[in-house]
Structure 1
Amino acid sequence: MTTSQRLSPINSIPSGLVANLVRRSCIGDLPTRGAEHFGSRAALVDGDTTITYRELEDYANSVARGLLATGLARGDRLAIAASNSWQFVVTFLACAKTGIVCMPINYSLSAEEIEFQLSDASVGTVVVADEHLRKIAQASARMLVPAQIVVIGLDEGRSKAGGAVPWETLLEHNSAPVEVIVEDTDPLHCLYTSGTTSSPKGVLASHSSVLIATLSNTIQMRHQRDTAGSVMPIVLPMFHCAGLDGSLLPLLATGGTALLYRSFDPDLIAGAIARFEVTHLILLPVMWEALLEIVRQQGTVTESVRLGIYSMAYMTLDRVDALRAAFPNADIVMASGQTETIPANELQWPGHQRTKHGAWGSPAITTDVRIMDKNGVLVDRGVEGEIVCRTPQLMIGYWNNADANSAAFAHGWFHSGDIGYIDDEGVVWFTDRLKDIVKSGGENVSSREVEEVILAHPSVRECAVVGRPHERWGEAVTAIIVVEEGLEVSESDIVGFCKEHLAGYKVPKEVVPVESLPRTATGKIEKHKLRTR
């Protein structure tokens, strides 16, 4: 038998749209299956609004047709600037159905910072909640080619700034299934993440990578497809991968119910636990602390909660034990990951809750994690080095950034920029950070970006920004400055100056004046000394 004869059945398989529809890995197909499998079950609860799986599919198809009618097509970029809401979810899924690349943006950024992202990704359309319209309009006006603005809940009493289109008109389109080619390797979304430079990087993730991460998370987080699905409040913003890929999509894949919140309110979450019989919680440590206090005060019944995950920052064992006492049926574990690898990438096993409390956890079932030295050689277990990985959950690459891609994929592994080791049981332990990133309150802050702003102040000669341990924020952005000789500057002066140029979460929590910065023999600032001063 010749090679051509052995392969002949493959050659007879249809191509084009037919072949794409029957075997693709398209995130836009999740609500289609959900409508068939779960029908009238609640998919989203947003305040007083409940969206069933059937309604979610219909709305996503209508908005998809509306977006296509505006001239958008597969591969075009659409940004979303909105808090967690059912409209956000529908817009995201509509993009997924059409091959439009969705770009959720952090609306707390300044107009200047948002404009950089919109311009860098050549965004043509922005869907924005009315409360953020002014800032988005300012950002769009700064672009070489201003974006088309579509407004959720447009206040009819105000002018439709720049010819803005009401989002609700997209729902008027036909809800018949949208069937267009979307390839597995097509970008699903572009999420911007801070790097070691002042300019953030756009992380492109494919449909297949996000689908694999979704399935991995459903297993690791023990979401079950049954007569009733998991119930989870989503308070982490969906412009982050933890809120979108790590929380929302596993729920929608398994018939769960996502309770959407625009911000964290411990009273509301405690009430939701009792009212909706919440099964899963993913919160930052500072949120867990606030919720614990309310649960104790109100005597909230928490027996329905099966899994509690904390991330972004470390929690002491005594605080985790307090949570376990307050949530007696729940495993309380840490999860970790990064935008580039579509988390969760490591998750503590329940059996390691006490014996390996400080660890990041074991790698996801789809992820091979190793440790590499500075020469690109993999090292043995127990030896410290850079944490690297191989996984089908990995990003396509950084948007329009060849240098960053070359560095990230060096030696055939993805480089996390984090330092750690793997113990004899394969558990990953984090010890330090290669990249100058401060992780504060769940947000990544580029220290260099903050330094460059502070150095622009006429009274500052030198500046180094580090993260110092903080009970509330995990790490507090801390600026150590050397003042120009003969000049004076106060902490409030620096903070006020930063507020003019940076998003609020990037503004230093503390400004410390010093006579000089510690340096190595080659002149590099020794930041590790500043973190412990």
Structure 2
Amino acid sequence: MTALRTVRCLADAKSAKTVEQAHQERMKMAVDRAQIDADRAVLRKRWIDEGFFTGETLSQAIDAAVVRKPNTRDHFYSEHGYQTATIAEINAQAWKLARALARAGIRKGDVIAVQMPMVPEVVPVQLAIAHLGAVALPIVHTYGPADLTTILTAGRVRMLIIPDAWRGIDFAERLAAATLPQSLDTVLVIGNGGAFTPRTLRYGDLLASDDDGKDDSLISTGDPQDDSLILFSSGTTGVPKGIRHSNESILAEYTVPFLANDGPYFTMMPPGHIAALVVIFHSILKGVEMVTADRWDAALAAEVCERHRVTQTGGVPLMLIGLLEAARQDSRDLSSIVSYRMSGTAVTPHHIRMASDAGFLAGRFYGLSEHPTVSVVNDNGSFAQRSTTDGVPSEGTEIRIVDDNGNDVPIGTDGEIATRGPELFIGYTDPSLELTSFLPGGWFLTGDIGHLDEDGAITITDRKKDIIIRGGENISPKEIEDLLLDHSAIREVAVVAYPDERLGERACAVIVLEAGQTLTLAEVIAHLSAKDTAKLKWPERLECVEAMPLTANGKVRKDVLRARLRAETAPA
């Protein structure tokens, strides 16, 4: 494992720049298509030689894993109650679905979008897509007609799979309001609602169709290099990017020792997000028992963790806090949990200590859709490493910290994180985006800011897009958020920019208060002043809200907060 460590200082006023200047500097680092392709070929050969790419397709790996541990059990809690099945039973259903879809004309390479909550059918659906050699495109289940139109069109989707309805959401009605692309010729509905042209298939009908379990003549599971998955970015920064993964890059993810034991693992993350897909396939490929629920419900989470003696789980800080509060309120026993994984810049030492005080070890990890697990903290690591860093590079992954010209700079100061490794994505659906996303040698520019320490551990400190530029000075929201979370009245905080005619931008602290608490801007400033925080970093506006706007995977929608502030400060 190699960790190349260098950094730059973001706080230097001389380094402050406009968005246009930053774009021009990134263009200077651009590589051409020929170099990108040549770098990928060299790296692929290396990862084959090192054993990360085994020559298997995802379909072949699933079948082999089911043979090894056929009785591994998955448990599902949804609006229809509790269901359970072994992975052998789930895979048999997946193969039956794959054969029925092949008879209906679905073929290798077809893009199949899946917009489903975490319901029992989602696992056989994902496995069936792999067995077909098709390309899965998960869509967050709460996305409405506008997002559907954008993603289905950009993804050149041939088939969409949806439930007819779920917890009051009429998926069929919502889809009818979208503008469907010409590429979409089939909608597969779980349930009896909705009818779409040119063709609607029913999940139940396909599983009930004649199938002797032997005729796979219409199925070609493809090549390890074939596309297997497309992920669209969450859309918090503008037009979503389509992120392509191959059989090889997806399977490389499962060489990472992400799970601490054989489970059960509990998740309420929605399957439209990479984090939930990782858990689904870990359950199958590693034989790890899985417990899921179709929506976030803290009381239910505490209940099922106690019932199934869950040993590991994870999520964003909001989920940890909710789980622990529900367990206290309902007297639930969480003593079986030994591991809790968290990610995101919102994770602080306070959250890690909170988990430790509850009796289970917590640690941070870092990944993104383009590179799902860049780093992970070992549960046996020190409290300092688990609480203040995002771990060390996962096996096969390399990390650099670079300046705006792509140069390595010394350890300990923040810079842009560049990564490469066998689970790195194979490109965007819009290839032109790749030209400013890579450095020579196949290094992917993540857009995340962080630094490496002497032990090779990485700490994520911010996103480039989150930097507030106040009068030419760069302010890191993450730094201020961490300081404010130490205030007893503050439950959650997000620091975002709002426009200012004189300075360009100022900082606003958007805060969710603890129950019964009040807070003024003067008290916020006094708190930061007592911590010797530079005056230029003090928020100049305070907004108290009942709840933060969140993405489907629990991250704060800072783009929504910024838009609100822009609207409020716009000239009349």
Q: Residues of 2 paired with 1:136 and 1:345: CA distance?
A: 38
- Please list, as runs of the form range in 1=range in 2, the aligned pairs for 1:474-513 lying within 5 A after superposition: 475=494, 480=499, 507-508=560-561, 510-511=564-565, 513=568
| In 1: Cα distance, 2:307 partner to 2:149 partner | 41
Given the superposition, is the C-alpha separation of residues 283 and 39 from structure 1 closer, same or farther in structure 2, using an over 3 Å criterion? same
Following superposition of structure 1 onto structure 2, how do residues 201-220 of structure 1 map, counting pairs within 5 Å?
201-216=241-256, 219-220=257-258
For the pair 1:151 / 2:189, whether they are aligned, the reply is yes
Corresponding residue to 1:337 among 357, 364, 367: 367
1:74 aligns with 2:127: no
Look up the match of 1:45: 76
Query: 1:286 — aligned with what?
Result: 318
The residue aligned with 1:435 is: 465
- Give distance in 2, aligned partners of 1:168 and 1:481: 57
Equivalent positions of 1:47-446 (< 5 A) are: 47-131=81-165, 132-139=171-178, 141-155=179-193, 160-162=195-197, 163-173=199-209, 174=211, 175-176=213-214, 178=216, 180-194=220-234, 198-216=238-256, 219-223=257-261, 229-245=262-278, 247-326=279-358, 328=359, 330-343=360-373, 345-347=375-377, 350-355=380-385, 357-399=387-429, 401-412=430-441, 413-435=443-465
Q: Do the aligned residues in 1 keep the contact of 2:59 with 2:221 (CA within 8 Å)?
A: no
What is the distance in 1 between the residues matched to 2:56 and 2:417? 29
- Which of 1 and 2 has higher RCO (CA within 8 Å, sep 6+)? 2
User: 3-state DSSP class of the match of 1:149?
Assistant: strand
Judged with a 3 Å threshold, the aligned counterparts in structure 2 of structure 1 residues 40 and 418 are, in CA distance, closer, same or farther, namely closer
TM-score w.r.t. length of structure 1: 0.74
Superposed CA deviations along residues 278-315 of structure 1, whole A, max 9, x for unmatched, are 01111110011111111122332222112101123423
CA distance in 1, matches of 2:423, 2:364: 19
Matching residue's letter, 1:168: G
TM-score, length-normalised on structure 2? 0.70
- Is the 2:75–2:291 contact (alpha carbons within 8 Å) kept by the matching residues of 1? yes
| Alpha-carbon displacement from aligned partner over 1:87-134 (angstroms, at most 9, x marks no partner) | 111111111111100001123223122111111111111000112222
Task: Give how far 1:366 is off.
Answer: 2.0
Secondary structure, aligned partner of 1:337: strand
CA offsets, 1:361-407, max 9 Å, x none?
211112111111222222232243211111001001111x2221111
Q: Aligned partners of 1:474 and 1:87: how far apart in 2? A: 37
Superposed CA RMSD: 2.9
Tell me if structure 2 keeps the 8 A contact 1:43–1:255: no
Question: C-alpha distance in 2, partners of 1:148/1:336?
Answer: 37
CA distance in 2, matches of 1:474, 1:362: 27
Contact kept, 8 Å, 1:61 with 1:176, in 2: the verdict is no
Q: Pick from 58, 61, 64: which aligns with 1:33?
A: 64
SS of 1:108's equivalent? coil
- 1:249 is paired with a residue of what secondary structure? helix
Distance in 1 separating the partners of 2:394 and 2:235: 24
Quick one: which amino acid aligns to residue 204 of structure 1?
R
Summarize the Cα distance change of 1:475–1:213 in structure 2 as closer, same or farther, 3 Å threshold.
farther
Pair 238,196 (structure 1): closer, same or farther in 2 beyond 3 Å: closer
Q: Cα offset for 1:145?
A: 4.7
Provide, for residues 402-459 of structure 1, a one-character-per-residue CA deviation record: whole Å limited to 9, x for no partner: 2211111222211111122111111112233223599xxxxxxxxxxxxxxxxxxxxx
1:44 shift after superposition = 4.0
